[in-house]
Amino acid sequence: MIRKLLFYLTLSLLTACGRNTPDPEPAEPPAPPPPPPPAIEIGDATPLDVARALNHAMADTVEKVLPSVVVIRTEATQYFVDWYGRLLREAQRPVGQGSGVIIDPEGYVLTNFHVLHGGQRIEVILEDGTAYPATLVGKNEPTDIAVLKIETDEDITFPAIEPGDSDKIRVGEMVMAIGSPFSLSSTVTHGVVSHKGRSETFLPIVDFIQTSAAINPGNSGGPLIDIEGRLIGLNTLIRTAGGMSQGNIGIGFAVPSNTAMRAAELIIGGTEGVEFSWLGVVMRDTREGVLLTRIVKDSPADEAGLQAGDLVRRVNRKAVRSGQEISSIVRLGRPGDILTLEILRDNEPVTVSVTTTLMPQTEIHFR
C-alpha cells in the first residue's frame, strides 16, 4: 500500500513539473522611428546639408499627399453579335484609366472630364489598393473638370488634399506632379512652374500653368502640388514631339487650382458648373499694363464702353500686370459682380465700371 502511494506521488510530481514550462522571453519593443533630420543653420550649412534638407522636405511632402491621389478606371459594356444579328453575350470592356485627387473628406474626387470619356462604370482605387465604385456628380466641359463621389456604406473619412492658391504660385517655383502614367500608380515627378497664363486651343478659356514636371498619358486629373503639398493645379495635357510620340518632352499644362476648385464648388453645389463670369475682351500684356486689343460685341465690356486700345492699369484698386490676373479676377468672381477698371485712354486716366455676366455658350462676334 505504501509503495503504491509513493508511486502515485512520484508520478504526480513528474507530471506537474512537465506543466511548468518556462515563461516566454519578453518581446523586444519595436524600434523607434528614425529621428527627423536636424534643423540646419543656413550660415553654417554646406551645399550637401542644404541638398539633404531639401531631399527630406520633398519626400515628406509626397508622403503627406499620396493618400489623397487616386487611380480612376472606367469600363463600358461591349456586345458580341453573331452573323445573324443575334446577341451572343456581353462583357465589360476597359475604356480608360487616369488619375484624380480627393478634395473633400466625404469622398469627392476632382479629375478631368476627358478621363471619363466613354465610360459607363467608374472605379476609384486608393493609394493602399482599396477600390470603390464612384458616380459622376457633374462636369464642366469648358474647363475639362469633373467631380466624382466615392460610394461606400462604411463610415470613412477620406484623406483630402489641402488646396493652394494658384494665383500666388510664381514662375520658377518647384512643383511635383503625381498620378498614374501608363498605369504606373503613385508616380511622382518634379520640375518647376515654367510659365503662367498659357492658352491652348483644347480649352481656350483656361489660363494654364505650364510645368516641366513630367506628365504622360494617365497623369490627367492628378494633382500638381507645391513644395508644401498644396494643390495648385490639375494636370490636363501635354505637348509631344508629334507623330507616334506620346511621351513627355518637358511641356505640360495644368488647370489652375483656383479655376478647378471653383468649378468643383459649383458642381457639388448642384449647378452645371458653367456659371463662370466673363468680360468679353482679348488682351495683350505690356510693360505699362494690359492692352485691350479686341472687344466682343454685346459683351459686358462692350456695354460698359470699353474700347480696343484701352490700357488697363488696375482692377478694383489692385494693380494688374497681365491678362491672366484679370482673367482670374473675373472667373473667380460671380456673374453680376461689378468691377472697377482704371484705364488709360489716349493717355488720359479713365475709370469704367463693368458688370460681369455668365459666359455665353454660343458663338461670339467681335467689334
Question: Which CATH number characterizes residue 100's domain?
Answer: 2.40.10.10
Is residue 94 included in any domain, yes or no? yes
- Tens digit of pLDDT for each residue in 113-161? 999 887 778 999 999 999 999 999 998 887 889 999 999 998 899 999 9
Query: Does position 8 have pLDDT exceeding 50, yes or no?
Result: no
| Residues in the chain, total | 367
Is residue 83 included in any domain, yes or no? yes
18 falls in which pLDDT band (50, 70, 90)? very low
Catalytic residue status for 365: no
Please report the pLDDT score of residue 10 as a whole number.
43
Q: Which residue has the higher pLDDT, 12 or 264?
A: 264
| Total domains present in the chain | 3
User: Which residue range is the domain that position 203 belongs to?
Assistant: 162-268
Catalytic annotation, pick one of 68, 166, 212, 220: 220
Question: Which CATH number characterizes residue 295's domain?
Answer: 2.30.42.10
Is residue 98 included in any domain, yes or no? yes
**Are 285 and 350 found together in one domain?**
yes
* Domain stops at, among 119, 150, 181: 150
**Are 207 and 290 found together in one domain?**
no
* Domain stops at, among 100, 126, 150: 150
Catalytic residue status for 155: no
**Are 142 and 190 found together in one domain?**
no
Cα separations in angstroms, 6 against 2, 10, 12, 14, 96: 6, 6, 10, 12, 83
Query: Does position 279 have pLDDT exceeding 70, yes or no?
Result: yes
Q: Which residue has the higher pLDDT, 66 or 330?
A: 66
* Domain stops at, among 150, 171, 194: 150
- Tens digit of pLDDT for each residue in 189-214? 999 999 887 777 667 667 789 999 99
Nearest to 362 by CA among 293, 302, 297: 297
Do 70 and 109 form a contact (C-beta atoms < 8 A)? yes
pTM of this structure: 0.70
Is residue 339 included in any domain, yes or no? yes
**Are 76 and 96 found together in one domain?**
yes
> From CA 196, how far away is CA 136, in angstroms rounded?
30
Catalytic annotation, pick one of 68, 99, 114, 180: 114
**Are 171 and 143 found together in one domain?**
no
327 falls in which pLDDT band (50, 70, 90)? confident
Catalytic residue status for 353: no
